[in-house]
Structure 1
Amino acid sequence: MGFRASELVLPKRLWMVLSFLCFSIAEFAHAKAQIEGVRLWRAPDHTRVVFDLSAPLEHKLFSLENPHRLVLDMESAGNKFALADLDLNKTPIRRIRSGARDKQDLRVVLDLHEAVKPRSFLLKRHGDKPDRLVLDLFDKSLKTEKKLEQAQPSQKRDIIIAVDAGHGGEDPGAIGPGGLREKAVVLAISKELVRQINQVKGYKGKLVRTGDYYIGLRKRRNIARDIRADLFISIHADAFKHPSASGASVFALSRRGATSETARFLARKENEADLIGGVGGVSLEDKDEVLAGVLVDLSMTASLSSSLQVGDKVLKSMGKIAKLHKRRVEQAGFAVLKSPDVPSILVETGFISNPKEAKNLGSSRYRKKMASQIFKGVRSYFDDKPPVGSYLAWVKNGQKEGRPREYIIARGDTLSGIALEYNVSVAALKKANKLRNSRIRVGQRLKIPTS
């Protein structure tokens, strides 16, 4: 038995609710997504532009020449942001302008100084972040990286430390009291750590991220491989929902993560699988599948063992100035640590969500102390196990052979401290270097006599 909608008897209030819903749905269908904000970051090889949107939308991107331009068409969109306010300094973008297209759509035009390789993608609303349209402009002028050549070990090469400041750019990391951002804190610590590394003869520090921009996790560890790093350190500041959580931590890769990464590494037919083993690496191109698997597994196992050892040294050193969250190196499957041939650790310098530790992390003096303790842990490890062919190995062998050693004075060094470190007397140091007193200066070279 059928009936017509007009025959339905509904309460007046329900009819009003249904009418309101129908009107709202119709309005929503015709509502425009709005650009509510635009942010821009410059990285060494590309520029990222992020559009904050009030709702998801469809878009098209294409390039034009004579002059070079990028055109971004957004369907059913409007603009609430003043594009002229963006700082375009040191980017390939000369000007950004926008206008209505076919009444409903929005066209954004980027006038360029030079041609770029563009890429765009949408990010869905997540947490406190709105829907976003991300536009990456990769520099065409950069030379394509050549395949790494197998390096011949030097008898006095530097130990290379890759220091990775977590997060960056669109990803601020954890937010502490007063708006303290993890990405800024860890970049400051990383820069200070590299500065201290480069003051010590036999060491060379390299920043993975040099400014406020984002780098993918796998690319971070690949940068460390490209520079043939002896150690990769990723610097972070932890956070938890309860502000009482506190303490510094050190992480290494879990064995489960190492096993899965070995399989993934072998499965990929890219340049990253061509060489393993750091300096003097082994090519996998001419190895059969079984042998290649054994080589990568051995390299991964050795790297993990070294990671745990250096992580333990760093953790104990950090414990002299900071409370420790755990008194042993923890292990987890962090993607950034999954390098088959570079020992890698992730250092949580403290809980930025803890008011007391956030205050410390916001202090430049404390950040210098933290960087110093991290490096002391690293030096302790490499003093015991210097890489073959390194300057430190040469010095250590010279100690065994009775050959005079050499030390370059860094800021904060004292003659008594150096004597204690090398197990020699202050008098012996003065005699070997013809010093009349205990006064030393930064950069001065000291001969270290055998004990």
Structure 2
Amino acid sequence: MNYRRIFGNVWQSALVLILTLAPALAAAQNSIESIRVWPSPDKTRIVFDLKKAPDYSYFTLYGSDPLRLVIDFSNTSLKTSLDELGEDSLLVDLIRTSTPKNNNDTRIVIELAAKSEPQIFPLPANESYPDRLVVDLPGKSAERSGPAKSIAELKDRKVTIAIDAGHGGDDPGSIGPSGTYEKTVVLKIARALASMINDDPGMQAYLIRSGDYYVDLNLRPQKAWQAKADFFVSIHADAFRTPQPRGASVWVLSKRRADSEVGRWLEGTERKSELLGGAETIIRDTGHEPFLAQTLLDMSMDSSIAGAYSASRYIIDEMSRITKMHKSKPQAASFAVLKSPDKPSLLVETGFISNPHEERLLNSNGHQQKLARAIYNGIRQYFVNNPLDNTYLANHGTIEYTVKSGDALSLIAERYGTTVAAIKRENNLKSSVLQVGQKLTIPSR
């Protein structure tokens, strides 16, 4: 028996099998596991979750109908459905596949309603997500929802409050023991706060994010500046590695961070994207006098921090009536969203989402409403006691309230942090009986 010939034939067969399977093995190098679409008022973000870091290229077809962005993933298979993707975006009409350059690739075609200059970049895996390819498509993608107002809808002579709901989109924030996302809770509180502020004749709210999408940290104070906001409040929920800590707290910018920001702003006029608040105007107007610019920025930042400290005390006082406080005094930290030199800016931690009891509270609509009311009362009290010139609150320290079904004087008094006697005195009421539609003037405390 010729064993050499037999074994030779076996090796030849094995080699043929390996060569035959090589394309299939190459095709399995990477895969698209899921696709997520996050429309926001000014852009749509599309996130491709992959098994490994992506090898990709892309091009646009804007000279034909429909307008298309084409992305080629090399040696990548598609393991997720494209059904119903992009349906909530005003910018994205359809996400589909097309014939790739070779059988091992995947070609994704994004059909657009309008031209958009895509920003495409990979992100490495982290504890929450695998390797990703992020596609940002600038352009109107969603209507501002809920109680949100656009910048064009904001009116003069009202105090404008910019409300920043933390995290959003593919950044869930902290996650509670039962799976509650911080981004979801804080958006509900922010919307409730915006609704209360917009019901106040002397105030108006601007939501930095009005839906479930992410806004870059440096863009949040910039959006507040674009809205000409007089005050900035960022809403968050705290977390710790153990479940015991609980309670709310209020934070303002640390002086060390403030000094650092002043130095960065003064580095050069080419960093326009970081010249937030009134900093750009100050530097431009005093560009030939750098020491004057630094002095003015220092004074402006000090004034903003002092205003934030003052407002935070009112908010802490209101919140302590309805929830446990983790810190009974304002805390200072280097939060990126608190760096505007032209307005008081603070961050409210509404409770520890990592604490099972507080997670249940934060999920409760009733508790969300109470937290929003406490923040609203604190902000309003600050502007009544520190009125801005030529605004409604500078001339009226009161609120006009329309009685609704189920209202009682005691409930209205509790809601606005005043007393039944004060409301009756302000409105010359002889009785506590109210009529639906009745107008009441709510005095400041």
| Matching residue's letter, 1:82 | S
TM-score by length of 2: 0.82
Equivalent residue runs for 1:45-60 within 5 Å: 45-60=42-57
Distance 2:371 2:188 in 1: 11
Distance 1:83 1:307 in 2: 47
| Matching residue's letter, 1:133 | L
TM-score by length of 1: 0.81
Gap runs ≥5 in structure 2: 1-23, 143-150
Distance 2:304 2:177 in 1: 37
Q: 1:304 aligns to what? A: 305
Q: Which of residues 276, 279, 291 is equivalent to 2:278?
A: 276
Distance 2:71 2:444 in 1: 69
Aligned-pair Cα RMSD in Å? 3.3
CA drift at 1:317: 1.4
Partner deviation per Cα, 1:334-372 (whole Å, 9 max, x = no partner): 101111112111111011111100000011111001111
| Matching residue's letter, 2:220 | R
CA drift at 1:330: 1.0
Whether the aligned pair in 2 keeps the contact of 1:209 and 1:215 (CA below 8 Å) is: yes
Distance 2:107 2:64 in 1: 19
Q: Structure 1 residues 81, 417: closer, same or farther in 2, change over 3 A?
A: closer
Q: 1:198 aligns to what? A: 198
Helix, strand or coil at the partner of 1:261:
helix
Q: Structure 1 residues 380, 410: closer, same or farther in 2, change over 3 A?
A: farther
CA drift at 1:423: 11
Q: Structure 1 residues 304, 437: closer, same or farther in 2, change over 3 A?
A: same
Q: Which moved more, 1:316-325 or 1:408-417?
A: 408-417
Distance 1:55 1:446 in 2: 62
Helix, strand or coil at the partner of 2:285:
coil
Partner deviation per Cα, 1:176-202 (whole Å, 9 max, x = no partner): 132211111000000001111111221
Q: 1:267 aligns to what? A: 267
Helix, strand or coil at the partner of 1:360:
helix
Q: 2:294 aligns to what? A: 293
Q: 1:62 aligns to what? A: 59
Q: Structure 1 residues 424, 239: closer, same or farther in 2, change over 3 A?
A: closer
Q: 1:361 aligns to what? A: 362
Q: 2:336 aligns to what? A: 335
1:414 corresponds to 2:413: no
Whether the aligned pair in 2 keeps the contact of 1:201 and 1:408 (CA below 8 Å) is: no
Q: Structure 1 residues 413, 120: closer, same or farther in 2, change over 3 A?
A: farther
Q: Structure 1 residues 245, 225: closer, same or farther in 2, change over 3 A?
A: same
Equivalent residue runs for 1:19-30 within 5 Å: none
1:313 corresponds to 2:321: no
Distance 2:224 2:435 in 1: 33
CA drift at 1:57: 2.1
Whether the aligned pair in 2 keeps the contact of 1:284 and 1:292 (CA below 8 Å) is: yes
Q: 1:145 aligns to what? A: none
Whether the aligned pair in 2 keeps the contact of 1:123 and 1:134 (CA below 8 Å) is: yes
Distance 1:262 1:238 in 2: 28
Q: 1:76 aligns to what? A: 75
Q: Structure 1 residues 116, 347: closer, same or farther in 2, change over 3 A?
A: same
Distance 2:110 2:417 in 1: 61
Q: Structure 1 residues 382, 427: closer, same or farther in 2, change over 3 A?
A: closer
Using the aligned pairs only, state the percent identity.
Answer: 39
Gap runs ≥5 in structure 1: 1-26, 143-147, 397-404
| Matching residue's letter, 1:203 | M
